[in-house]
A and B are shown apart, each in its own frame.
Chain A
Amino acid sequence: MSLPGDSGRYGLAWLVAGLIAFVFCAHDILVRDTDWTRMMAGHPWETLARFGRPDLTLLPDLLAPALETVLMATLASFVGLVLALPVAWLGAANISPFGLISFTAGRSLMTLSRSVHEMVWALLFVSAVGLGALPGILALAVRSVGFLARTLAEAIEDVAPGPIEAIRATGGSPFQVVLFGIVPQVLPTFVGCVIFEWDINIRRSTILGLVGAGGLGLALFRQMARADYAGVAAVILVVLALILAGEIISDRARKAVI
C-alpha cells in the first residue's frame, strides 16, 4: 500500500505504524469486543444459509415498491440538482458573485451537506415535516447537494475561456455569457454526475424505510423485523437488479449527452 510521502525510509515507517495500529484494532475488535462462543451459539452459518435461498415468491409483491424506490431516487436527485445550482454558483471561484465571502459560503454548504450522513438528515427532516416519503426525499436531496455542487463548481472553474471571451465580444449580457459560454461546457460532466448520484440515491433510499418512506426500504425493514432472511435476500436481489438496470440506463444516457 502506497502511502503519502512514500519515499524510502518514511514509507517503511508509515507501513510499520499502520501495521501496528491494525494489529491493535484487530485485537480490540476480534478479541476484546467479540464473544465468539456466544456468537457460535447463535448458529451464524445457518442464518447465512437462509440468506442464500432468497424467497422468490415475494418478487411480484416487490414490483410496486421497486417503482416507488426509483421514483424517490429520481425526485431526490432532481431536487438535489436544483439546490446544487445556486450552491455551485457561490462555490465556483471564477464566477462567485461576492468574492471570497460567497465562495466560502458555497464551499461550506457543500461540506455541510456531505458531512452529515443521510440517516441523520432523515431524522432531522422527520422532526420538521413528519414521517413519510417527503422527509426521506429531502434528506437524500440535501445529501446529494454536496457532491453535485462540488463537481459542478469544479467543472465551471475548468471552463475554457475562449467562448466566454467571444460572447462578451459580441456584446452579450452576463446571463448570456453563463448560458452560452459556461452551460454547454459543463453540461456533459454535470449530467453524468446527476446520473451517478441517482444511482447512489437508489441505494440510499433503501434505508429510508426507517423514516416511513415506502419503497423497497420499507419492504426490507418488514422482512428484517420478522427475521425472514430469505425475504431480506429477495429484496436485496431486487435492489441489485435496479442498480444493474440503472447502470445500463446511465451508460446510455451519458453517451447521449456527450
Chain B
Amino acid sequence: MGASPQTPANAAALARPRMRSYLALVGTLVLLGYAIERLNIDLERLVGMLGRIGTVLTDRYLPPNYEHILQPDYLHSVLETLEMTWFATVIGLLLAVPLAWLSAGNLTPSPRLLRPVARLVIMGVRAVHEMIWAIILVSLVGFGMLAGSLALVCFCVGFAGKLFSESLEAIDPGPIEALRASGAGSLQVFWFAALPQVRQTWAGISIYSIDAVFRAATVVGFFGAGGMGWFLRQSTQLVASHDVAAIVLSIMLVVIVSELASTWLRHRLDQSPA
C-alpha cells in the first residue's frame, strides 16, 4: 500500500480548526461569567427557586378568583382587546405592504432613497417594544383604546413588515425579469410578478400577525392603553393575588385559543390550492 505513516505535524494541523471552537467555548463562558458579575446577579437566590415559586403559587395565587374574571367589566375588556387586535392588525398590515415593497431589495422602485427609509421605519418600530410604544402613546393621546391600538399598529407594522419583505426577497426572479423586459413599471412588476408568488405566504403571515398582535394586546393595557392588561395592573398593585392568578390564567387561555386557531387556519391554508 506504501502510504507512509502520518507526521505529527499533519495531525496538529488537523486539530487547529477544533482549537478555534474550544476557544469560542471558553470565550462564551468568560462572557457569561462577566455578565453575571457585572449585572450583580446573586446566584444564591436561584437556590430553592423552584420550591419558592411553588410556595408563592400555592400560598398567594391559588386558588384563582374566577369570579373576578367573570364580572361584566372584565369580559368587556376582553372584547375591547379583540377590537383593538382587529383594528390594529388591519391597519398595520395595510401599512406593512407598501413598506415591504419599498424595502425589498429586488423590487424597490428607489434603492438609494426610499429603501433605506422603509427599512429604517420597519426596524425602528420593531426596535421599540410594544409596551414602550404603549407608554409613549398614552403620554401622547391619553389613556384608552386609541393609545393601545396605535401601539399595536406599530407592533404589527414591524412584525409583518419584516416577514413580508423577507418573503418578497425570496421569490423567483424569473417573472420579475420577464415583466421588466416587457417594459412594466415597478408597481406593475410588484402587482403581477411578485404578489401572485407571495399570496399564500402573506396570507399565512397575516394570520400569524393577528395571533401575535392579540398576544401583545392582552398586556398593553398594563399602562392604561385599553384591554385586559389594565385589570392585571390594578390587581397587581392592590396585591390581590387571587385576582392576578385568575387574570393570568384567562390571558393564557385566550392566547392559547388564538394560537390554536391561527395554527389551524395556517394549516388549512397550506393545503388549499394556491
- The answer to whether A and B interact is yes
Cβ < 8 Å to A, chain B residues 202-218: 202-203, 206-207, 215-216, 218
Interface assignment of A38: CB less than 8 Å from any CB of chain B: yes
A71–B53 touching, CB < 8 Å: no
Known contacts A25-B86, A30-B146; A114/B259 CB under 8 A: yes
Q: Tell me the bound Cα distance from A207 to B84 in angstroms.
A: 21
Question: Which single member of B39, B142, B202, B252 contacts A133 (CB below 8 Å)?
Answer: B39
B39–A71 touching, CB < 8 Å: yes
Interface assignment of B35: CB less than 8 Å from any CB of chain A: yes
A29–B256 touching, CB < 8 Å: no
Known contacts A34-B146, A48-B140, A75-B39; A207/B45 CB under 8 A: no
Name the A residues within 8 Å of B268 (CB-CB): 4-5
Q: Tell me the bound Cα distance from A3 to B79 in angstroms.
A: 22
Name the B residues within 8 Å of A71 (CB-CB): 34-35, 38-39
Name the A residues within 8 Å of B199 (CB-CB): 2
Q: Tell me the bound Cα distance from A68 to B265 in angstroms.
A: 41
Cβ < 8 Å to B, chain A residues 76-101: 78
Cβ < 8 Å to B, chain A residues 32-53: 33-35, 38-39, 42, 44, 47-48, 51
B87–A22 touching, CB < 8 Å: yes
Question: Which single member of A48, A112, A203 contacts B127 (CB below 8 Å)?
Answer: A203
Interface assignment of B180: CB less than 8 Å from any CB of chain A: no
B136–A127 touching, CB < 8 Å: no
Interface assignment of A177: CB less than 8 Å from any CB of chain B: no
Q: Tell me the bound Cα distance from A191 to B60 in angstroms.
A: 39
Interface assignment of A184: CB less than 8 Å from any CB of chain B: no
A116: min CB distance to chain B, Å: 6
Interface assignment of B101: CB less than 8 Å from any CB of chain A: no
Question: Which single member of A114, A128, A206 contacts B52 (CB below 8 Å)?
Answer: A128
Q: Tell me the bound Cα distance from A240 to B127 in angstroms.
A: 6
Cβ < 8 Å to A, chain B residues 73-99: 80, 83-84, 86-87, 90, 93
A120–B149 touching, CB < 8 Å: no
Name the A residues within 8 Å of B202 (CB-CB): 2
**Can you name the residue of chain B whose Cβ is closest to the Cβ of A117?**
B219
Name the A residues within 8 Å of B215 (CB-CB): 115, 117
A243: min CB distance to chain B, Å: 5
B144–A115 touching, CB < 8 Å: no
B45–A127 touching, CB < 8 Å: no
Q: Tell me the bound Cα distance from A201 to B141 in angstroms.
A: 28
Question: Which single member of A33, A129, A206 contacts B146 (CB below 8 Å)?
Answer: A33
Interface assignment of A58: CB less than 8 Å from any CB of chain B: no
Name the B residues within 8 Å of A26 (CB-CB): 87
**Can you name the residue of chain A whose Cβ is closest to the Cβ of B158?**
A203
Cβ < 8 Å to A, chain B residues 23-54: 28, 31-32, 34-36, 38-42, 45-46, 49, 52-53
- Chain A 141-159, CB-CB to B under 8 Å as 1, else 0, gives 0000000000000000000
- Chain A 3-39, CB-CB to B under 8 Å as 1, else 0, gives 1111100000000001001101110111001110011
Interface assignment of B255: CB less than 8 Å from any CB of chain A: yes
Name the B residues within 8 Å of A117 (CB-CB): 215-216, 218-219, 251
Cβ < 8 Å to B, chain A residues 213-239: 214, 220, 224, 227, 229, 232, 236, 239
Q: Tell me the bound Cα distance from A129 to B35 in angstroms.
A: 18
Name the A residues within 8 Å of B68 (CB-CB): none
Name the B residues within 8 Å of A132 (CB-CB): 40-42
B145–A28 touching, CB < 8 Å: yes
Known contacts A3-B203, A130-B45; A236/B251 CB under 8 A: no
**Can you name the residue of chain B whose Cβ is closest to the Cβ of A123?**
B236
Interface assignment of A182: CB less than 8 Å from any CB of chain B: no
Q: Tell me the bound Cα distance from A114 to B86 in angstroms.
A: 21
B129–A4 touching, CB < 8 Å: no
7 nearest A-B residue pairs (beta carbon): A71-B35, A25-B83, A25-B87, A115-B255, A133-B39, A2-B203, A33-B145
A/B interface sample: 8 pairs, CB < 8 A: A1-B90, A1-B93, A2-B200, A7-B272, A33-B226, A75-B36, A120-B251, A123-B244
Interface residues of B (CB under 8 A from A): 28, 31-32, 34-36, 38-42, 45-46, 49, 52-53, 56, 60, 80, 83-84, 86-87, 90, 93, 123-124, 126-129, 131-132, 135-136, 139-142, 144-146, 149, 199-200, 202-203, 206-207, 215-216, 218-219, 222, 226, 232, 236, 244, 248, 251-252, 255-256, 259, 265, 268-269, 272
Q: A115-B215, A243-B123 are in contact. List 19 more A-B contacts (CB 8 A).
A: A4-B203, A5-B272, A24-B83, A25-B84, A33-B144, A33-B145, A33-B146, A34-B146, A39-B141, A39-B146, A47-B139, A71-B34, A74-B31, A75-B35, A111-B256, A111-B259, A114-B259, A132-B42, A203-B127
